[in-house]
Amino acid sequence: MPVHSSRRLHHLLSFLSFIMLLPSLSAFSLQATSRLSSAMRSQHLLSINSRLMSVASGTNMESMKTDLPPFPLIGKNPDEEPPRVRFAPSPTGSLHVGGARTALYNWLIAQGARVEGDTNASFIVRVEDTDVARSTKESEESVLKDLEWLGLQWDEGPVTNGDFGPYRQSERADLYKSVARTLLDSGKAYPCFSTNEELESVKEAQMKAGESPRYDGKWRDADPELVQQKIDAGDPYTVRFKVPKGARVVIDDVVRGTIAWDAEATVGDFILLRSSGVPVYNFCVAVDDATMGITMVVRAEEHLTNTLRQGLILDALGAPRPRYAHCSLILGEDQQKLSKRHGATSCNQFKEDGFLPDAMINYLSLLGWNDGTDREIFTRDELVDSFDMSRVNPSGAVFDMQKLKWINGNHLKMMSIEEVKPLILEQLIKHNVLNSNGASDSINRITLAATCLAKQMMVTTVDAATNAKAVLAYPLPQSFDDLSSVEPDEQKLIKSGAFYNVAKAIVAAYDAGVLPRPNEVNVMEPFEELNGELIVEDNATGGGAYAYPAAWKTFMKTLGKEMNLKGKNLFHPARLAMTGVMSGQDVTKQMALLQLACEFGSAVDLEGGLEVVPLEVRIEMLRGFLETIPEEFRVKKEEVVVKEVVQGKKGGGDRRGEGTAAGVTSDAGDSADLVSTYEGPAFNTMDVRVGRITKVWKHEESDKLFCEEVDVGEAEPRQIASGLQPFFSESDLQDRKVLVLCNLKARKLAGFPSHGMVLCTSNDDHTSVKFCDAPVDAEIGERVWWGGDGVLPENMEEAAAENKFAKKKMFEKIAPYLRTNEFGVCEFLGKPIMTNSGPCTSAMADGGIS
């Protein structure tokens, strides 16, 4: 370009810049003066002031030519400098977990370096608000608030400021313009006068020709005279970056390794400044990374392609490129990018839902990183010590709500009562358990009791409020006719006759004034050791030898003796009577919380709709309920006794006799008794068949269920859901030969239509599960049978039709007598369950089969 025209162009650009700069001029000078402090400051100021002066006078062209802002990393290797990392949120919504993880990794890098003595390490927050239409102040505030909640405090950024500000792109407009001008001056960018229509028609033609659309380079080498004429005529133009011939951008990504782009083949000359003077996103990012001296850019994979343009701009500016690390996307369980439809994704929502910041960062850190071991629980300090970008892996991480909850529960356990208490208070108020205007002493004691009750079992702090609500309510139905409103186990307990007498005795004790009640002088007894230490474990009770917990224990012991009951046969009915729920936390702790809620002047939020059922009312409800229990359910059923006999045999080798080589019992002693006393349905009313799992996958909504397709010898495989996820992997199930109970009616399990049941063995507390296996030679579809001593009965019963089988609840009646013996042989009433190739077995001896 001849000198004179270049000068005229320069002149015009300066003028345009002046117009564009005017509104922000005074603000920028002020900020610049107050924020820049180091050597950088004088350099920055000098360069900015000389530029502004020359622009304002519109004369001294020459002084503008070298106006590049300082690039702190020039002449340095970013890898060897104290880390300066940045989190660059676009304030167009709330902080998403993906953004939070990016922020966390950046924070950990800076924090880790600082802990190792690198005082110059810096975590920067830069607000990328160039998209004026979508950026909002509220969003910026909420993102910053969430970062603060997570404890990811920034060293430089909005509010805190720093030496390299301003930290909002909207406040850096003049910087981008001056850099654009420098690029124009040096011929690394050029004005482009193509109109939108022209660009559109080029694009159309390219697409028609099967080429990927890109700028056609029309103004790249345009005649300077013509350019000048257009400028003189006031034609609008964009500033385009001149992609150098043969340019390549190659990066050594920390997470993804070497990535290279053939720039010329990938992009056309792209826009830096729009005709309105508004800079384009990638240009801002490159200029900011360069001027802020960013040493490493850690961001999401979706920005990988931006690196090409950003790299080209940085190269043109002569600024060293930072090191890049592109982290994988966070996915939902369906392997799609995590979004709102997968549930909570914003940090604020997790905060509301009772998650702890330390648990959040613990979990987020693991979405793509591990410390090389299978360790999963880290405190904040431990994360800072262990985190290392080189162990961040490139594969997509699936967001697992259950795991987050598990981690949250662990962190809650690790915290002290005093630390957790304020968080619980927040939830108790939010969920209308406490009235924030209530008496502070009452608020304090109820919060303490609710915290102690929930401390070791809650998964989120919301659980403490939910638990308190459950404890204060009394869900026993009014009458036996309403029994369907309670849990099946409770219905069973009541119908078994085990409930009536215990509950009756409790009512009688209450009437006689001997039912132990919380100590009104010190209601907190169940939560406090004698030395004042707080109790959080459910099975530990405080208060000493004469306190309420001790009195309750004595009462229960006496009751058990009188009624000849112990263990769960005593505790389940008593708990159901006192709390309306058969199993749950220590009764004395529950009653103490209830007492606090019923005290005169209690701070519970009755106006907010909280349901509190005082002991007096409970006893009256219980009394009414007991009256409605029909006569037949007031005594313990024979069946229960028989079941106990069977379970009592567990592990007793003598009833098995010597056994055959295969472990099949030949003993006729006790098991013969069992057979003769058994009054339930015949084994062979069950249609149990040998099947093979041909396909298996995890249920989409349940972390317990596997969905299977099982060949049971029918034209089509059956679809079956089994609660086996906690015990097996998919590969354990794939192609496995199994025993399938086929005449169960099809029903939906977590929405999945399941038709049949895979038989398994489990120990008594169901912590271990094994399959019931058919012999290797057994045929698929073959019916499994029981014939007493392992001989096929002459008149084998017909399998019951599905509807009959289900209606009569036959399996429930049969199941207590299905067990494995000490050799793992599957037995019914102590005799083997057979296929035509031999008995069925299991890897678990002495287990219950269901």
Nearest residue to 312 via CA among 221, 215, 247, 240? 247
Q: Alpha-carbon Rg of the chain, whole angstroms?
A: 37
We find the least distance from the C-beta atom of residue 400 to ligand GLU, in angstroms, to be 23
Q: What residues numbered 124-143 form the site for ligand GLU, per CB under 6 A?
A: 128
The residue assigned the tokens 């720039």 is 263
The helix/strand/coil state of 115 is helix
Closer Cβ to ligand GLU, 52 or 297, answer by number: 297
Closer Cβ to ligand GLU, 128 or 827, answer by number: 128
We find the least distance from the C-beta atom of residue 307 to ligand GLU, in angstroms, to be 9
Closer Cβ to ligand GLU, 143 or 433, answer by number: 143
Q: Per CB under 6 A, does 179 bind ligand GLU?
A: no
Output the CA torsion sign for 308, 314, 319, 325.
negative
Size of the site for ligand GLU (CB under 6 A): 8
Is residue 597 within 8 Å of 438, Cβ to Cβ? no
We find the least distance from the C-beta atom of residue 309 to ligand GLU, in angstroms, to be 11
Q: Out of 65, 337, 340, 808, pick the active-site residue.
A: 340
Nearest residue to 199 via CA among 130, 268, 131, 245? 268
Closer Cβ to ligand GLU, 88 or 389, answer by number: 88
Closer Cβ to ligand GLU, 18 or 281, answer by number: 281
Q: How far apart are CA 481 and CA 550, in angstroms?
A: 36
Partners of 323 in beta bridges: 296
Q: Kindly list the distances between the CA atom of residue 511 and the CA atoms of 515, 576, 595, in Å, as whole numbers in the listed order.
A: 8, 18, 18
Structure token digits, residue 35? 């924020």
Closer Cβ to ligand GLU, 324 or 786, answer by number: 324
We find the least distance from the C-beta atom of residue 388 to ligand GLU, in angstroms, to be 20
Contact region for ligand GLU (CB under 6 A) — 31-39, 172-180, 297-305, 420-428?
Answer: 297-305
Nearest residue to 312 via CA among 178, 183, 216, 212? 183
Contact region for ligand GLU (CB under 6 A) — 153-161, 296-304, 508-516, 840-848?
Answer: 296-304
Partners of 754 in beta bridges: 747
Q: Per CB under 6 A, does 685 bind ligand GLU?
A: no
Closer Cβ to ligand GLU, 99 or 518, answer by number: 99
Q: Which of 21, 100, 179, 285 binds ligand GLU (CB under 6 A)?
A: 285
| DSSP state letter for 96 | B
Closer Cβ to ligand GLU, 142 or 501, answer by number: 142
Q: What residues numbered 498-527 form the site for ligand GLU, per CB under 6 A?
A: none
Contact region for ligand GLU (CB under 6 A) — 295-303, 508-516, 581-589, 619-627?
Answer: 295-303
Q: How far apart are CA 122 and CA 606, in angstroms?
A: 50
Exposure string for 411-432, b = 16+ CB within 10 A, e = fewer: bbeeeebeebbebbbbbbbebb
354-357 contacts at long range (C-beta below 8 A, 24 or more positions apart): 354/408, 354/423, 354/427, 354/460, 354/461, 354/462, 354/463, 355/404, 355/408, 355/460, 355/461, 356/408, 356/411, 356/412, 356/415, 356/423, 356/461, 357/149, 357/150, 357/151
Identify the helix (H) or strand (E) that includes residue 738.
strand 737-741
We find the least distance from the C-beta atom of residue 340 to ligand GLU, in angstroms, to be 17
Identify the helix (H) or strand (E) that includes residue 472.
helix 461-472
How crowded is residue 604: how many other Cβ atoms within 10 Å of its Cβ? 24
Q: How far apart are CA 422 and CA 418, in angstroms?
A: 8
We find the least distance from the C-beta atom of residue 103 to ligand GLU, in angstroms, to be 10
> Cα 673 to the chain's mean position, in Å?
53
Q: How far apart are CA 560 and CA 569, in angstroms?
A: 9
For ligand GLU, the nearest residue by Cβ is 299
We find the least distance from the C-beta atom of residue 402 to ligand GLU, in angstroms, to be 28
State the number of CA atoms in the 13 A half-sphere of 713 facing the CB.
18
We find the least distance from the C-beta atom of residue 297 to ligand GLU, in angstroms, to be 6
The residue assigned the tokens 């132990």 is 516
Q: Which of 299, 431, 589, 699 binds ligand GLU (CB under 6 A)?
A: 299
Cis geometry, peptide bond prior to residue 69 (ω within 30 degrees of 0): no
| DSSP state letter for 169 | G
Closer Cβ to ligand GLU, 25 or 329, answer by number: 329
Nearest residue to 105 via CA among 330, 332, 335, 337? 330
Closer Cβ to ligand GLU, 125 or 227, answer by number: 125
We find the least distance from the C-beta atom of residue 231 to ligand GLU, in angstroms, to be 33
Q: How far apart are CA 712 and CA 690, in angstroms?
A: 6
649 catalytically annotated = no
Closer Cβ to ligand GLU, 184 or 297, answer by number: 297
The residue assigned the tokens 């020459």 is 62
Q: How far apart are CA 113 and CA 118, in angstroms?
A: 5
**What x/- string results for residues 612 through 651 when contact with ligand GLU is judged by CB under 6 A?**
----------------------------------------
The residue assigned the tokens 């028989």 is 642
Is residue 618 within 8 Å of 546, Cβ to Cβ? no
Partners of 271 in beta bridges: 240
**What does the CA dihedral 233, 239, 241, 242 come to, rounded to 10 degrees?**
10
We find the least distance from the C-beta atom of residue 71 to ligand GLU, in angstroms, to be 17
We find the least distance from the C-beta atom of residue 89 to ligand GLU, in angstroms, to be 5
| DSSP state letter for 850 | -
The helix/strand/coil state of 154 is coil
Q: Per CB under 6 A, does 303 bind ligand GLU?
A: yes
Q: What residues numbered 74-113 form the site for ligand GLU, per CB under 6 A?
A: 88-90
Q: How far apart are CA 585 and CA 591, in angstroms?
A: 10
Closer Cβ to ligand GLU, 322 or 543, answer by number: 322
Nearest residue to 585 via CA among 457, 489, 494, 476? 457
We find the least distance from the C-beta atom of residue 48 to ligand GLU, in angstroms, to be 25
Closer Cβ to ligand GLU, 286 or 535, answer by number: 286
We find the least distance from the C-beta atom of residue 95 to ligand GLU, in angstroms, to be 10
- Positions in the binding site for ligand GLU (CB under 6 A): 88-90, 128, 285, 297, 299, 303
Report, as residue numbers or ranges, the catalytic residues: 340
